[in-house]
Amino acid sequence: MSDEPRPRLPRRTRLFITITAAALVLAGAGVATAMLLGGGPDPAPTATPSPEPPAEEGADEPAIAEPEDPQPLQVIAMGDMLPHDSVNANAERDGGYDYAPFFDGIRTQLDAADVTFCNQEVPSAGVEFGISGYPTFNAPVEFARDLQGAAGCDLVNLATNHTADKGTAGVAATRAAWDGLAPAVVAGANRSAEEQRAPTVLERDGVRIALVSFAEYSNAPIDGVTLNMMGDDALVNDLMAQARDQADVVIVSAHWGTEDSHDVNGQQQAFAQRVADLGADVIIGTGPHVLQPVAWLDRADGGRTLVWYSIGNMLSTQLTLDQRTGVIAGFELARDDAGEVRVERPSAILTYMHYDWTAEEEAAGDLPARHGLSITPLADSAELLQRTRFGVTPEQQIAASAAILGPDVTIVER
C-alpha cells in the first residue's frame, strides 16, 4: 500500500458528498419502516429533491488577508555587567551562583526586546581560576549562563580592559562557557587567529546582525590574537569589511573613553568616525562606567551611524549615583521599500542599580556588607533612593541624565 496521502477534496465538494449520502440513508430508512409497519406492497418511491449543484469552489472561503508589513526589530543594549565581590556574594547559593534575581525589576523591558546586547566586563572562567572581584576579576560560569538565560543577552561583547585578567587560559575558559549558550554570539576575545578573523553574525526574523568588538587597552599583558584592539588597523579594516559583506546591520562595540567622565574624548570621536566610514550602523560604547552623549554621525557612503558613546553600568556595586545610573539603550531595525535595513527611533530607559548599605557600614568602608541588590527603571526608584545618602528624586536624576544623553534620544520612563 502506498504511504502517500490521498488528494484532499475541496471543502465544498466534501460537504456535498456528505449531504447526498445522508439523504440516501434517510430515504432508505423510511422505506424500510413503511414495509415493517404496513406489510403491504412497496409504496411508490418518493422523489427526493436533487441536491443543489456545488457552488464554485472556494466561494464561501474567507478572503485571504494581505500580508502585513514586517514589524521592526526592537534592539536593546545594556552596559557593564561588572560582578564585584559583593555581587558574587549576593549571587552565591548552595553549590553554585544565581545572578538571575538581580534582573527581575527590569523583566518587562527585557522581555519586550527582540535582540539584546550586553557588555560582559570580566572573564567568566569559573571556580578553577578563583572567583574574584576588583582589581583582578573572574566570575563563575553561572555568570555567563544567567546573562544569557535571565538577562537575554544574545550579542555579547568580551573586548574590555578586564578580559585578560586571568590570561589567555581565562579567555579560553570564558569562550568555552559561552559555547553552549546558543543562540548568543560573542565577539572581541579569541582562542585562535581563525576565531578572531571570523565576524559573529546573529540572524533574527530575517535580519542579519554582525557584532564587531574592540577594546582601547588591556589591564593585563596580551598578545595580538586573544583580544581585539582598537589600534590594530589591519584587524579593524578586515573585520569591518567582512561584517559589511555578510550582514544587513553592523554593530560595533567599542570599550573606550575616560572612566567616570561624561565627556567624550578625542580618541572616541576619531575611532567612531573611522568605523562609521567603514560601514558601522550602530556604535555601542562602554568603559567609562557612566553615561555619555548619543549622536548621529554622517559617514562616507552618505548614510548615518548611531553612536552611544557610553551606556554606563548595568550590574555592579560601584559607589556613586552616576555609576549606578544606567540605560537600556533602544533602537529599531526596519526594512525600507528597497529592502535595506535602517536604524531608527533611538530611545533610553534609565535604570538604577540599588543595594542596601547603612551609613555606618559605608563610613567603615565595609564593602562586603552591601546587600539587597536590584536593578529597576529609574522612574520607579523613589522608595529605593530614599534609603540612600544621595538626596535626589528620580525626576531629578532623570533630568540630569537626559541632559547628558542629549536631544538625539527619546527618554522613556519604563
**10: number of Cβ within 10 Å:** 12
CA dist 386 and 371 (Å) reads 16
| Domains and their CATH numbers in the chain | 73-411 (3.60.21.10)
| Burial class of residue 258, CB neighbours in 10 A (0-12, 13-18, 19+) | middle
pTM of the model: 0.84
In which band, very low, low, confident or very high, does the pLDDT at 121 lie, cut at 50, 70 and 90?
A: very high
- What digits encode the pLDDT tens for the residues 311-351? 999 999 999 999 999 999 999 999 999 999 999 999 999 99
The pLDDT assigned to 130 comes to 98
Mean local confidence (pLDDT), 349-363: 97
Q: Residue 205 carries which side chain, given as an amino acid letter? A: D
The pLDDT assigned to 70 comes to 78
In which band, very low, low, confident or very high, does the pLDDT at 21 lie, cut at 50, 70 and 90?
A: very low
State the residue for C-alpha cell 409497519. Answer: 37
- C-alpha cell belonging to residue 353: 542599580
- C-alpha cell belonging to residue 355: 543595594
Share of the chain above pLDDT 90, in %: 82
In which band, very low, low, confident or very high, does the pLDDT at 68 lie, cut at 50, 70 and 90?
A: low
The pLDDT assigned to 45 comes to 44
State the residue for C-alpha cell 550602523. Answer: 281
Count CA atoms within 13 Å of residue 300 on its CB side.
9
- What digits encode the pLDDT tens for the residues 220-269? 999 999 999 999 999 999 999 999 999 999 999 999 999 999 999 999 99
Given a cut of 90, is residue 408 above it in pLDDT? yes
Length of the chain: 414
- C-alpha cell belonging to residue 351: 535604570
CB 330 within 8 A of CB 346: yes
Q: Please tell me whether the peptide bond between 10 and the residue prior to it is cis, using omega within 30 degrees of 0.
A: no
**Among 8-12, 169-173, 192-196, 351-355, which stretch is predicted with the lowest mean pLDDT?**
8-12
User: Mean pLDDT score of the chain, rounded to an integer?
Assistant: 88
Mean local confidence (pLDDT), 102-121: 98
